[in-house]
Amino acid sequence: MIITLTKLREVRKVFQIELSRKVAEIQLQLTQEAVAKLEKEREQLAKTFEQKLEEWKQKEIENTVKVELEKWRQEMEKEIRRDAIKSSITTLLGKVGEHIAPLYMIRELDVDPRDLRFIGTPVDYIAFKGLSSGNPEKILFIEVKASQSGALTERERSIKSLIESRKVEWVTFNIRKEIEKAFEVVEKELATTVIKSEIGKPFEKHTYQITRSEGDDEFYEWLVSEFQITREEYEGLDDEVKNLLRREYESSIVR
């Protein structure tokens, strides 16, 4: 009995040791599985959190961008409206300025309004200061500007440079002389046309005779040089054409 009890106790002791070992293994396995599960869930939660955070950030960025865009749009609308108003004012001033400018120029430049002449281009005004009072002092070339800068165009700068360089002169143009020259050209062309039309006609004898003089040779030479007609062709012309040619010849001698 004693031996049997001793063996049972040893078997029981071995069983308890084995049972403890198994329990320890199971606990270790369960712990590892729990840790793995927790790690997986943590990773999933972290991934979900990052995704949600990214979505939130994107949404916040979009909202911020929308807000900023709306503010920018409103500001730009105000700026565009201000620019449009400024542009309208500048255009209006440019149109009205040239007409009201004489009121200010009279005071600032001490110019009598009767001495102002509006020409528009390449400069707006020319003022003959003192002319109306019979005591001309100087001539002013005036360009009116409504913009803040008052910048001149390239053509206006060229005109200003010519004036400052004193490249200005007086010219008297006699139109009467030019008209007389034009009439002379017309008369000559008319005479040439009549002569050419008469040259083609059959030669006829006329009762009209021109007395030969010492200047006849020069006259016939002049006919050949000016109208390329010979003495015989001249004799075949009617009296009116002959008289016209004589007058033209005499006029050429006088000139």
DSSP state letters, the chain? -HHHHHHHHHHHHHHHHHHHHHHHHHHHHHHHHHHHHHHHHHHHHHHHHHHHHHHHHHHHHHHHHHHHHHHHHHHHHHHHHHHHHHHHHHHHHHHHHHHHHHHHHHHHS---GGGEEE--SSSSEEEEETTTTT---EEEEE----SSS-PPPHHHHHHHHHHHTT--------HHHHHHHHHHHHHHHHHHHHHHHHHTSPP---S--PPP-TTHHHHHHHHHHHH---HHHHHTS-HHHHHHHHHHHHHHHH-
Residue pLDDT, tens place only, 94-149: 666 666 677 777 888 888 888 988 888 888 889 999 999 899 999 999 988 766 67
Residue pLDDT, tens place only, 101-112: 777 778 888 888
Q: What's the pTM value of the predicted model, to 2 decimals?
A: 0.39
Q: What is the pLDDT of residue 210?
A: 39
> What are the structural domain ranges in the chain?
15-92, 109-164, 175-254
Say whether pLDDT at 214 is over 60.
Answer: no
Residue pLDDT, tens place only, 159-175: 999 999 999 999 888 88
Residue pLDDT, tens place only, 7-42: 667 777 777 787 788 778 887 888 888 888 888 888
